Amino acid sequence: LAKTTQPISMDSYEGQEVNITCSHNNIATNDYITWYQQFPSQGPRFIIQGYKTKVTNEVASLFIPADRKSSTLSLPRVSLSDTAVYYCLVGGSASGGSYIPTFGRGTSLIVHP
Amino acid sequence: GAVVSQHPSRVICKSGTSVKIECRSLDFQATTMFWYRQFPKQSLMLMATSNEGSKATYEQGVEKDKFLINHASLTLSTLTVTSAHPEDSSFYICSASDGDRESNQPQHFGDGTRLSIL
């Protein structure tokens, strides 16, 4: 199973760009990389997903180097409402080929005024 | 799109009670549904995976007789915590995907159920 490693916490200020990096050294060939955002007492919310290079949507960008052993979630111009825990999730395949989602500890982002 | 509704949002009950939690995909067919448990300040722990019409697959250490999962249709899965005890108190979250178990389709999460057993 692909294990992920992220910084436990990050601090930023309103208006700044925030980059959160996730390491996934044993990512499998068919695995995608997905990022989720979670607020307290709520379920995670899908942010972005990618396989390689760069993906951009209306809320974030995802950068994935050629070796795919890491990925970086980029949040442009964060606001106070972006304070949350961010998880990267890599598709994991057990020996039987079944997808077993494994959440790491996530990164707690605190945005200051 | 891709809305998942989870009910109830909060349950407080006495020890020994069985509690049923519903997870519904409102605007898509959920081929696969996942059930998670999350303790305070911790990450989500996968409990089980269910596919419509088949038995759920439980993760190691999760008692299938304690946590009954039924995935009766492509839009509904239920988790029943049987004879709940205080140690079962936690935040339970479901998610749904329109991909099969080998898919990398994103999961769409419900808003969770806060279960408190007195």
Tell me the pLDDT tens digit for each residue of A29-81: 888 899 999 999 999 999 999 999 999 999 999 999 999 999 999 999 999 99
Across the interface, which of B59, B95, B104 has its CB nearest the CB of A91?
Answer: B104
Q: Do A43 and B114 touch (CB under 8 A)?
A: no
**Per-residue pLDDT at A92 exceeds 70:** no
CA separation for the pair A73, B54 (Å, rounded): 36
pLDDT at B30: 86
Q: Do A43 and B4 touch (CB under 8 A)?
A: yes
**Per-residue pLDDT at B103 exceeds 80:** no
CB contact at 8 A, A96 and A1: no
Mean pLDDT of chain A: 90
In this structure, which amino acid lies at residue B3?
Answer: V
pLDDT at A34: 93
- Order of strands, sheet of A70-75, starting from the edge strand that comes earlier in the sequence: A18-23, A70-75, A61-64, A53-56
Higher pLDDT, B29 or A20: A20
With cut-offs at 50, 70 and 90, classify the pLDDT of residue B97.
Answer: confident
pLDDT at A103: 85
With cut-offs at 50, 70 and 90, classify the pLDDT of residue A98.
Answer: low
**Per-residue pLDDT at A8 exceeds 60:** yes
* B contact test, residue of A42, A64, A89 with most B CBs within 10 A: A42
pLDDT at A93: 44
